[in-house]
Amino acid sequence: MADRPERSDAGRSRRRSDRSASSVRSAERRTAERRPSDRKPLGGRTSHRSPSKRPAWIVPVLLLLCVLAACLMFFLRGSRKADTEPETESLTVPETVAEETKETVSETEAPETDTQEEAGGGPHAWEVFPQNGEVLTAVNARASAEGDSAVLSVLQEGQTVVITGTDGTHYMVETENGIGYVARKYVIPELYQAGNHPPFKAPSLDGIDPEKPMVALTFDDGPNAPSTNRVLAVLEKYGAHATFYLMGSNVYGENNDCVRKMVELGCELGNHTYNHNYFNLQPVSEIRPSVRKADYMIEETCGLMPATVRPPGGGIVDEAAQELNTLGLAAIFWSIDTLDWETKDPDNTYKVVMENVRDGDIILMHDVHQETADAAERIIPALLEKGYQLVTVSELAAARGAVLEPGKMYREFWK
């Protein structure tokens, strides 16, 4: 950089003096010319309006508007209180729940039971009122047992209610608008959940030859009416039996007829928990509710309690087995896994069964899939043609002299 020429001190002093005087004169001119409207408001924006007084009529008008708004709010509140219908009257439950409620209300007789407990109108050992109950699915609590009576409250899944009594098909429960009627199936009493299964009762072996080969077909995760009904139809056609491990949350609507048809055909009902709850993943404290809720839904539908339980996914730990022992249930697994749920290939399912089957096998399939129904329509006649008797799990165990013990695990009953 080029050197700058040096300046004398006198020159620098003179120039600073001139600049100072000029700055003072400029400041004086700006002060003299400034108007009040030049001031900036808070926020940094310049106001382009000159200050002016508010018109005298603004304040009275604002006060009048406030009075009118207060009157309107008072009127609306009063009109709601005057309404004689509860606000929940306009609410509805899911379609399947509404359909199920209508069906349950129309039943004149409760189903008969083959257990130590009587389903239906008479008080059970666990029906002591009042007691708490848990709502199993969203459902209307109505003013009477009539299906078209006013809705007092919409109960939500998992809600705790106080049950005050029963008329045989409904429970009377406390709601915010009085005593409401709810189909029994959708509120499980606290004492039922705390109960256990009666001692296992071995089935009759009428029509079964213990000396001939036999297998047990088992179907999990249902019912699902469209595919389950196809499996039931082919079983009925050939006079065969099977065991269905039911999820409690699937026992509603048209699926109820599937469950009753299973009983009619001599098939066996098993427990597959309420919502496919894994015994090896959930806390032990949750095993009882998941099992007993499924028990309850099944028993309230057909009058029978499940004979055995199948742990979802085949997962189990020692603590879970101990809990099943307390509940009074044997755990049933399988010796042939078709993997039908994964492949959804009827040909593969058929091939796995027919190439691996042996006397005493327990075969796993899932009746919720149409592809499994396709396979079952071929497997059932093919097994019969090969000389196998198609029996339930309990029948297979009894034919082999086995006693199903609570908390024990069974995978097959080979000779």
For the chain, the C-alpha Rg in angstroms (whole number) is 39
CATH topology of domain 214-410: TIM Barrel (3.20.20)
User: What are the phi and psi torsion angles at 164 (to 5°)?
Assistant: -105, -15
DSSP states along 352-415: HHHHH--TT-EEEEETTSHHHHHHHHHHHHHHHHTT-EEE-HHHHHHHTT----TT-EE-----
> Residue 332 CB: number of other CB atoms within 10 A?
28
Residue 21: its pLDDT value, please? 45
3-state secondary structure (DSSP) of residue 80:
helix
Residue 248: its pLDDT value, please? 97
Q: What are the residue ranges in the chain where pLDDT is below 70?
A: 1-63, 66-67, 69-123
> What does the alpha-carbon distance between residue 357 and residue 152 come to, in Å, rounded to a whole number?
56
Residue 67: its pLDDT value, please? 65
Residue 68: its pLDDT value, please? 72
End-to-end CA distance of the chain: 107
List pLDDT tens digits, range 145-170: 999 999 999 999 999 999 999 999 99
pTM: 0.73
Closest CA to 329 of 196, 221, 189: 196
> What does the alpha-carbon distance between residue 170 and residue 143 come to, in Å, rounded to a whole number?
12
Give me the residue spans of the domains in the chain. 87-193, 214-410
> What does the alpha-carbon distance between residue 192 and residue 127 come to, in Å, rounded to a whole number?
8
Helix (H) or strand (E) holding 139, with range, is strand 139-142
Tell me the CA distances in angstroms from 327 to 118, 198, 315, 333, 398, one per residue in order.
19, 9, 17, 18, 21
Closest CA to 357 of 333, 329, 338, 378: 338
Sequence-separated (6 or more) residues with CB below 8 Å from residue 105: 145, 146, 147, 169, 170, 183
Closest CA to 305 of 270, 351, 342, 341: 270
Residue 393: its pLDDT value, please? 98
Q: Which homologous superfamily does the CATH classification assign to the domain defined by 87-193?
A: SH3 Domains (2.30.30.40)
Residue 80: its pLDDT value, please? 39
Residue 69: its pLDDT value, please? 65
